[in-house]
Amino acid sequence: MTRISFAPATAHAYSMLPTTSRLMTFPAMRDRYGDFLRGWGGPEGHLATMPGGESLSDVDARAGRLLDALALRDEPAVALVTHNFVLRLIICRVLGVGAGGFRSVTV
């Protein structure tokens, strides 16, 4: 099996909020990340850039590049292990609904 790197080890592509926010109360998160949370919860949430990270559209573009690279490989099977957001974006891509359909897919 060949290993293909999806993202640099230093990337924060999968973090909803930076690690320091995990123990914050929701009111504190709302105060600190209010703009992001309003954008994330809206109809264009896939375009909102996560603090310390990237938008779902950015993740979708990287996932697309990975899928393109995997399609070129001459291997009968590939195991892909990743975060549920990435899986949901890949499913959206396969269904042809794009990153904007992210909330319509559950994994």
Q: Is the pLDDT of residue 16 over 70?
A: no
pLDDT (average), residues 1-17: 40
- How far does Cα 72 stand from its chain's mean position? 23
Q: What pLDDT, on the 0 to 100 scale, is given for residue 8? A: 42
Confidence of residue 52 (pLDDT cuts 50, 70, 90): confident
Please report where in the chains the tokens 């001459």 appear, as a residue. 74
Pick the more confident residue, 10 or 46. Answer: 46
| Average pLDDT in the chain | 80
Instruction: Tell me whether residue 14 is exposed, middle or buried, using C-beta atoms within 10 angstroms of its C-beta: 0 to 12, 13 to 18, 19 or more.
Output: middle
Instruction: Tell me whether residue 20 is exposed, middle or buried, using C-beta atoms within 10 angstroms of its C-beta: 0 to 12, 13 to 18, 19 or more.
Output: exposed
pLDDT in tens, 74-103: 888 888 888 899 999 999 999 999 999 999
